[in-house]
A and B are shown apart, each in its own frame.
Chain A
Amino acid sequence: MTAGGEDAASTAGPETGGTREPQNMKIVVAIKQVPDRDAPVRIAADAKWIEERELQWAMNEPDAYALEEALQLKEKHGGEVIVLSVGPERVGSTIREALAKGADRAIHIVCDDLGASTGGGFRNFDALGVARLLAAAVKPENPDLVLTGLQSEDLGLGQTGVILAELLGLPHATLILHVEKTDAGLKVKRELEEGWFQSIEMPLPAVLTMQSGGNKLRYATLMGIKRAKTKELRAVSAAELGTAAAPVATLEQISAPKKQKSTQILGGSAKESAAALVEKLKTEARVL
């Protein structure tokens, strides 16, 4: 039965008879929900994390680029895009957004105690703890490729993808702008410092962390939003994945940044502040 089923599946590829058969790719994209870039943030009373009530949330932008790359690879080669996210219930809205943009199905690792009392901040999990949860969910999927953003806009650790690769025993590359499938695996374009790039060739399966700007992000269409409601969104609890371990690095306290300079704020109307600035630049800073 199983052997027969596999045979049937392998011959039922979407494209046959072409000059060169594209090989389907199963791609997992790990995405994170972060505070919206433009939302004002307030430090919570305990100064352990920000006040999350009434906060607006958005998909981490580098993860949006990872999703875009996955969708384009699927459009080119066929296959499946599965989005994966860890967090409390609110994360569902960001997962739906990814499904509306074209992901086929989703796994939500429901984890309320990521941030204990205030409901955020990933306080009881460090980057390794989160990556362990992701790895436990990715493993049974056996994907060809795992994509995620190079870093999050809230904690900015930039480690999740790299640790995930290590835990899954897969090769990885970071800061990737472009992905090309080759006969041997992948050829990727990696960003280096100060305007330099390099190409890296690597076998599949692999893990890549995506830099922003490699593609243009798509918007969800009305049809996409409608379809997203019928797509599979599987919730799995963090406890079920059974990867709990004490964090080795903990965020003790947050605060407003220390000012590096004393800034003169020039007030008044647009016209007044502009005039005041020109005067300062001429007579005080002497740069005009």
Chain B
Amino acid sequence: MSVLLVLEESGGKIKRASWGALAAASKLGPAQEITAVVIGAETQTLAAEAAAKPVGKVVRVEHPLLATYTADGFSLALHQLLQNQNGTKCVLFPHTYQVRDYASALACKLGQVLIGDVIAIEDGPLFTRQLLQGRLTGTYRHSGDGPCFVSVQAGAFRPDSNPDSNIDSLESQGNAGNAPIELFTPTLDPAQIRTQPGAPFRESAQTVDLGSAQRIVSVGRGIKGAENLPLVEALASALGAELAASRPICDNGWLPMERQVGSSGQTVAPKLYLAVGISGAIQHLVGMKGSQCIVAINKDPDAPIFEVADYGIVGDLFEVVPALTEAVRAAKE
């Protein structure tokens, strides 16, 4: 099937999550039927990077008003491109914050919805995505004549050990290395861009680098209140581990934002990740599932955190954590 793959840029290069979307695109059609799209004010370098991949062609959607991302600019430009590319059956994106901001507006212009954050594609095509914060999965089918809009979860379409391996093996096929590049210039008027985005900034200098920690004890909603944090602090100190948290803990101000692991916080891959009272919502899992050894302590045996855990204890953390702290201390003596 004819697939339009919209690549995302970051720091002058194609963002890695985009190649996960390419791996997903290759499940829908051969390389020749995949059109990779780069978008911006100057897209020559990005287009060259994309043309080296197994795609049929590359389209540069270029306009001075696309220099900075805006939902209005990107959705209008891509809408014009889609009207120009007859026969597109599927439009694929990496499921990034940027895509979440505009892809469904674009889909809406064509009477479509986005099947977002997809983790698997099967024949049909059937698209699998997570429901109820990862507690269940659902398969979706697209109907009707219009193109099907799909965004792909980061990391879902590549082997964990070698992120680029399935792309490399694909590179021997199709037009890899010499895909033709076309230029598309949308008609945009400054008045159509209604938002004025500022430059990205960080809140404060990060003093905690969870990324380099060997061991992390991470705490979630199960801890119930800030007054119970000494329990996990004791465990972390017994293990010589950094203390981290899932989003709700930082939202409540119980721990500083810089200790947050997940899509909106830090991405970590320590030797040991011990999750205490964390259910394992998608946004958290993407930040820690690359850890070497994952331990989960949770009262709910169906919590999604157990899907990625190597070891699990189903029980009351208020009993298990002190016992564990004691056992760790004893083992060190």
Contacts and interface: CB of A to CB of B under 8 A. Distances in A.
A248 B111 CA distance: 8
Interface stretch (B34-42, B83-91, B99-107, B173-181): B99-107
B271 interface: yes
B159 interface: no
A282 B328 CA distance: 10
B215 interface: yes
Interface string B105-139: 10111011111110000000010011111111111
Interface in B176-208: 194-203, 206
Contacts of A119: none
B146 interface: yes
A18 interface: no
A159 B272 contact: no
Contacts of A172: 71, 105
B111 to A, nearest CB: 7
Interface residues of B, number: 102
B116 to A, nearest CB: 6
Interface in B252-271: 252-253, 257-258, 260, 263-267, 271
Interface residues of A, number: 81
A126 interface: yes
Interface in B262-305: 263-267, 271-272, 279, 282, 289, 292-296, 300-302, 304
Classify the interface of chain A: helix, strand, loop or mixed. mixed
B293 A195 contact: no
B116 A159 contact: yes
Interface stretch (A24-32, A137-145, A219-227, A251-259): A251-259
Interface string A21-54: 0000000000000010110110100000010000
Interface in A158-174: 158-159, 162-163, 165-167, 171-174
B168 interface: no
Contacts, number: 269
Given A257-B307, A263-B309, A273-B315, A248 B196 contact: no
B327 interface: yes
A288 B112 CA distance: 51
B326 interface: yes
A193 B302 contact: no
Contacts of B315: 270, 273
Given A197-B203, A251-B138, A213 B251 contact: yes
B333 interface: no
A197 B307 CA distance: 31
Interface string A185-227: 0000011111111111111000000011100100000000000
B310 to A, nearest CB: 6
Interface stretch (B22-30, B56-64, B316-324): B316-324
Given A156-B133, A194-B265, A261 B308 contact: yes
Contact of B142 (A155, A196, A248, A260): A248
B314 interface: yes
Q: Which of B117, B126, B307, B330 lies at the interface centre, i.e. has the most chain A CB atoms within 10 A of its CB?
A: B307
A274 B130 contact: no
B112 A260 contact: no
Given A162-B102, A263-B312, A288 B328 contact: yes
Which residue among B111, B134, B138 has the maximum number of chain A CB atoms within 10 Å of its CB? Answer: B138
Sorted nearest first, the 4 A-B pairs with minimum C-beta distance are A213-B251, A171-B194, A274-B323, A159-B104
Interface of A: 35, 37-38, 40-41, 43, 50, 126-128, 131, 150, 153-159, 162-163, 165-167, 171-175, 190-203, 211-213, 216, 246-261, 263-267, 270-271, 273-275, 277-278, 280-282, 285, 287-288
